[in-house]
Amino acid sequence: MYLTHQPIDLASLIAQVSRAEHGAIATFTGAVRDSHAGREVTALSYSSYESMAEHECADVVREAEAKWPVRVALMHRLGDLTIGDVAVAVTVASAHRDEAFVACRWVIDQVKARVPIWKRETYADGTVGWVDPTVPGGIVMARPDAEASRG
């Protein structure tokens, strides 16, 4: 299971990969920021195509463990988050730090590129946007009527 609706416990992810033969652990955590593209963010919600996302996360972890002599733990949170909450955590243990850093960076990049997860931001002015890295500005505003019907 790589997706959770609960807060992510970094210590338990680290414990999951640590072995006596591992001297190096590289970790990445992505947290909810208070601003995006110049807008003040007040709330954030992640949704996912969960069955596909679980498959993709498992593939990413397996591929990383095949490419480097590492053990990888990965967790992505879904649902409603507040500023400062950890949205994603990657932990990579290895005998040496080179592979730990390289694999950790590769895993988070792959997660962002391959795992079907979407981010819906609420701004201080009450408007709502969908994060979309493919458009200039990185946000597509939600339709007010859709927003009203959602609430």
Partner 1 sequence: MTITVQALLFARYAELVGADRLALSLPDGSRAGDAVSHLRAGHTGGGLPPTVLLAVNGRQSSPDRLLDDGDELAILPPLAGG
| Contacting residues toward partner 1, per CB under 8 A | 30, 46-49, 51-53, 55, 76, 87-88, 108, 111-120, 130-135, 140, 142-143, 146, 150
Tell me the three-class secondary structure of the chain, residue by residue.
CCEECCCCCHHHHHHHHCCCCCCEEEEEEEECCCEECCEEEEEEEEEECHHHHHHHHHHHHHHHHHHCCEEEEEEEECEEECCCCEEEEEEEEECCHHHHHHHHHHHHHHHHHHCCEEEEEEECCCCEEEECCCCCCCEEECCHHHHHHHC
Of residues 66 through 105, those in contact with its own copies by CB under 8 A are: 83-84, 95, 97, 100-101, 104-105
CB of 140 to partner 1, least distance (A): 6
Nearest approach, Cβ of residue 129 and partner 1 (Å): 9
Smallest CA-to-CA distance from 33 within 24, 45, 41 is with: 41
| Cβ closest to its own copies, residue 22 vs residue 55 | 22
Q: Which does 43 bind (CB under 5 to 8 A by kind): partner 1, its own copies, none?
A: none
> Under the criterion CB under 8 A, does residue 29 sit at the interface with its own copies?
yes
Among 4, 33, 58, 80, binds its own copies (CB under 8 A): 33
Residues that bind its own copies (CB under 8 A): 10-11, 14, 18, 20-35, 83-84, 95, 97, 100-101, 104-105, 108
